[in-house]
Amino acid sequence: MSSEHPTEPDGSDTKDRARRTDAKRSFDALVQAARDVFASSGVDAPVRDITGKAGVGTGTFYRHFPKRGDLIAAVFRNEVDSCADAAPALAENHPPLEALAAWLHRYSEFIATKRGLASALHSGDPAFETLPAYFDARLRPALSQLLERAAKAGEIRTDLDADDIISAVANLSMPAKTARPDHTRRVVDIFMNGLKSR
Amino acid sequence: MSSEHPTEPDGSDTKDRARRTDAKRSFDALVQAARDVFASSGVDAPVRDITGKAGVGTGTFYRHFPKRGDLIAAVFRNEVDSCADAAPALAENHPPLEALAAWLHRYSEFIATKRGLASALHSGDPAFETLPAYFDARLRPALSQLLERAAKAGEIRTDLDADDIISAVANLSMPAKTARPDHTRRVVDIFMNGLKSR
DNA sequence: ACCATATACGGAACAATGTTCCGCTTATCA
DNA sequence: TGATAAGCGGAACATTGTTCCGTATATGGT
């Protein structure tokens, strides 16, 4: 499902030839592998670590990601997609309030994980310029959907703005160092509690 | 003059033997060279570029800066020192208001230049943990001195806090992309104008 | 002035990582 | 099913990081 979204660069569809399926497979495998490697070794992880885990050659790597920023941006988009795509699935399988809470936690995790990328993001690399817009375009509708559903069910306040919540939870999820590892989860819970209608 | 300040790590003074002067020279040469190289090639510049410009061997480099963060922190401290040390000199050679304006511009330049370091600073490297405190400890007194002098001369408002001004000018000096290159200088001028007494 | 010695230096050698290049493979289309 | 453009792999090469150790010298004591 998430592969429907433009994790890939270049949204054009009027090509002489369509992109070969093996190319797409390599691309996806690299993004997936990079995601894992970044998580365990940081964004400066060696190229060979990534190609090794992805099971592709280094040549293939550079074909898809000539600049390192290209890879980081692709991983970021991919994770934004995962997070956004979680919303409809949660809505289907859980009551409104529960789905909303679950998604906020999911989103909170995403933010916390992205601490490593965050510094890279602010580095001025042109590959990252469109990311904030993408972030907003994908995540806001996802949250809005859950908010509306919960609001219609009368379970939360109706004066809530998706933008505010997204940035509020983002801030809550970026504490420097926390004594207890579940601190973030707890404050997000409290915040979530505040959303409820009385 | 600036070498009086603890650009060097390790504030202890009860050593068996004092640090050799050639060691200090190498240290200073490396910081100086790194400063230049960082400015032209960024903080990821190759070690050999720095040692080459400093005229020392690579062994010497690693003796002084086992971790890259150590070097970056040293350069940062060095630049904070330069900026702070500029204050007394300006006070001696210029009328109060003029000295204050000149120093604010000097400080503004410093902030703008540090954009490259800023992302590194937020990376969580333990070598950077004491930098914010150092920044404050050196820069606030420098500015306070100029503020007090100008206030005594009746040239500026008396309700001004050094902290506020430091952070305000820092924010003014970090615009993303400016059409005109002197934008920063101009807004700082305007801000400075606001400091004057009526 | 000179010696003893801890300190520091330089840079070759080694290791890790980035990047390119090109012969081989394969998906796609007619 | 053949032609061909697209893609792939990984060795080879280039760059940068890091260590190691023989040599040089600043320092304190005599």
- Residue A20 in contact with partner chain B when CB distance is under 8 A: no
B170 touches strand D (CB under 7 A): no
Classify residue B193 by burial, with Cβ atoms within 10 Å: 0-12, 13-18, 19+.
exposed
Inside any domain, residue B7: no
Q: Do B92 and B109 reside in the same domain of the chain?
A: yes
Average pLDDT of adjacent 10-residue blocks, chain B of 198 residues:
44 56 97 96 96 98 97 96 97 95 93 79 85 95 96 89 86 63 76 79
Inside any domain, residue B193: yes
Predicted confidence band at A122 (pLDDT cuts at 50, 70, 90)? confident
pLDDT score, position B182: 75
Q: Do B39 and B110 reside in the same domain of the chain?
A: no
CB A146 within 8 A of CB A96: yes
Inside any domain, residue A24: yes
Q: Do A93 and A143 reside in the same domain of the chain?
A: yes
Q: Do A87 and A42 reside in the same domain of the chain?
A: no
Whether the predicted pLDDT of A11 surpasses 70:
no
Query: Residue A97 has which token pair?
Result: 């309030």
Smallest Cα–C1' distance to nucleotide D16: which residue has it? B46
Average pLDDT over residues A13-40: 85
Nucleotide with smallest C1' distance to residue B57 CA: C10
- Residue A123 in contact with partner chain B when CB distance is under 8 A: yes
CA of B197 to C1' of C23 (A): 78
Last residue of a domain, one of A29, A48, A66: A66
Q: Show Cβ contacts of residue A95 under 8 Å, excluding neighbours closer than 6 positions.
A: A153
**Alpha carbons A143 and A148: distance in angstroms, whole number:** 9
Inside any domain, residue B96: yes
- The per-residue b/e assignment along B48-59, b for 16 or more CB within 10 angstroms, e otherwise, is ebbbebbebeee
Nucleotide with smallest C1' distance to residue A56 CA: D9
Q: Do A160 and A83 reside in the same domain of the chain?
A: yes
Inside any domain, residue B2: no
Contacts of B119 in chain A (CB under 8 A): 119-120, 122-123
Domain containing B172 — which CATH number?
Answer: 1.10.357.10
Average pLDDT over residues A42-62: 97
Report pLDDT digits (tens) over B30-82: 999 999 999 999 999 999 999 999 999 999 999 999 999 999 999 999 999 99
pLDDT score, position B124: 77
Q: Do B102 and B74 reside in the same domain of the chain?
A: yes
**Alpha carbons A98 and B175: distance in angstroms, whole number:** 41
Q: In total, how many domains does chain A have?
A: 2
Residues with CB under 7 A from strand C: A 17-18, 20-22, 44, 46-48, 58-59, 62, 66, 68; B 16-17, 19-20, 22-23, 25-27, 55-60, 62-64
Q: Do B108 and B42 reside in the same domain of the chain?
A: no
Please tell me the distance in Å from B147's CA to the nearest CA on chain A: 33
Last residue of a domain, one of B66, B92, B122: B66
B46 touches strand D (CB under 7 A): yes
Q: How many helices (H) and strands (E) does chain A have?
A: 9, 0
Report pLDDT digits (tens) over A67-118: 999 999 999 999 999 999 999 999 999 999 999 999 999 999 998 888 777 7
Range of the domain at A194: 68-198
Contacts of B175 in chain A (CB under 8 A): none
Inside any domain, residue B1: no
Listing DSSP states for B103-162 in one string gives HHHHHHHHHHHTHHHHHHHTT--GGGTTHHHHHHHHHHHHHHHHHHHHHHTT-B-S---H
- Residue A122 in contact with partner chain B when CB distance is under 8 A: yes
CB neighbourhood size of A194 (10 A): 11
Inside any domain, residue A2: no
Q: Do A29 and A111 reside in the same domain of the chain?
A: no
Chain C footprint bases within 7 A of protein beta carbons: 6-13, 16-22, 26-29
pLDDT score, position A193: 82
| CA-angle at B82, arms to B78 and B86, nearest 5° | 165
Smallest Cα–C1' distance to nucleotide D10: which residue has it? A57
Residues 6-35 of A, Cβ under 7 A from nucleic strand D:
16-17, 19-20, 22-23, 25-26
- Residue B118 to residue A120, Cβ atoms within 8 A: no
Residues 94-133 of A, Cβ under 7 A from nucleic strand D:
none
Inside any domain, residue A140: yes
Q: Do B59 and B85 reside in the same domain of the chain?
A: no
Report pLDDT digits (tens) over A149-174: 999 999 998 888 898 899 888 877 76
Q: Show Cβ contacts of residue B197 under 8 Å, excluding neighbours closer than 6 positions.
A: B154, B155, B156, B157, B158
Domain containing B47 — which CATH number?
Answer: 1.10.10.60
* Of A39 and A118, more confident: A39
- Residue A124 to residue B115, Cβ atoms within 8 A: yes
Listing DSSP states for B53-110 in one string gives HHT--HHHHHHH-SSHHHHHHHHHHHHHHHHHHHHHHHHHHS-HHHHHHHHHHHHHHH
**Alpha carbons A27 and A30: distance in angstroms, whole number:** 5
* Of A13 and B181, more confident: B181
- Residue A118 to residue B115, Cβ atoms within 8 A: no
Q: Do B36 and B96 reside in the same domain of the chain?
A: no
CA of B44 to C1' of C11 (A): 22
Q: Do A156 and A103 reside in the same domain of the chain?
A: yes
Q: Do A59 and A74 reside in the same domain of the chain?
A: no
Average pLDDT over residues A26-38: 97
Whether the predicted pLDDT of A121 surpasses 80:
no
Which phi-psi region, left, alpha or beta, contains residue A103 (left: φ > 0; alpha: ψ -120 to 50)? alpha
- Residue A120 to residue B120, Cβ atoms within 8 A: no
Closest by CA to B29, choosing from B1, B50, B47, is B50
